């Protein structure tokens, strides 16, 4: 497993690179995951996909849907369903803030990264607002301009 450079005791499992392209990220939260044994083993092998995952509110709790954790091949009949709905563990105050933002402001809860922190599986969630096509183009133009300026500074 690759270690994250900025955090010494964190092992990165998967990142959602598409999220920053499709959403304007407003705020981030770190949440724990309720997992079964075979899911943890599969995550230790690095077999997870965040690309289609998103968070929902159900009965005052936050759940993550479509987080794909591959079936652990060495597990017996107790294997898990790959895309089952998983509960997220957050503080009550954070849940209240998320519920308010999702229901009142129409924001989306998007997972950005999945990792192990001191042996415990965590996910970084972001409150995001969906970008329109012209917003995506504008972001790309700004990134290209920054890249050109950095290139010009380096050559001088």
Task: pLDDT tens for the chain, 156 residues: list them.
Answer: 455 556 668 888 989 888 888 888 898 999 999 998 888 888 888 888 888 898 888 898 999 999 898 888 887 777 888 888 999 999 999 998 888 888 888 888 999 999 999 989 999 999 988 888 887 888 889 889 999 999 999 887
Domains of the chain from N-terminus onward: 10-131 (2.40.280.10)
Say what the pLDDT of residue 7 is. Answer: 64
Alpha helices in 17-132 (DSSP H): 19-22, 37-44, 92-105
Which residues have C-beta within 8 Å of that of residue 59, sequence separation ≥ 6? none
Output the pLDDT for position 104. Answer: 83
Torsion of CA 55, 61, 67, 73, to 10 degrees: 180
């Amino acid at each position: 497993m690759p270690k994250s450079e900025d955090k010494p005791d964190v092992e990165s499992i998967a990142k959602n690179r598409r999220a920053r392209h499709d959403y304007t990220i407003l705020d981030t939260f770190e949440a724990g995951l309720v997992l079964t044994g075979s899911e943890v083993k599969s995550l230790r092998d690095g077999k997870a996909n965040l690309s289609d995952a998103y968070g929902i509110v159900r009965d005052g709790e936050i759940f993550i849907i479509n987080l794909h954790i591959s079936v652990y091949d060495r597990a017996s009949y107790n294997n898990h369903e790959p895309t089952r709905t998983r509960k997220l563990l957050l503080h009550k105050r954070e849940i209240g803030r998320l519920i308010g933002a999702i229901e009142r402001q129409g924001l989306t809860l998007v997972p950005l990264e999945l990792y192990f922190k001191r042996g415990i599986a965590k996910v970084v969630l972001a409150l995001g607002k969906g970008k329109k096509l012209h917003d995506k183009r504008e972001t790309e133009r700004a990134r290209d301009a920054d890249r050109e300026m950095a290139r010009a500074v380096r050559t001088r």
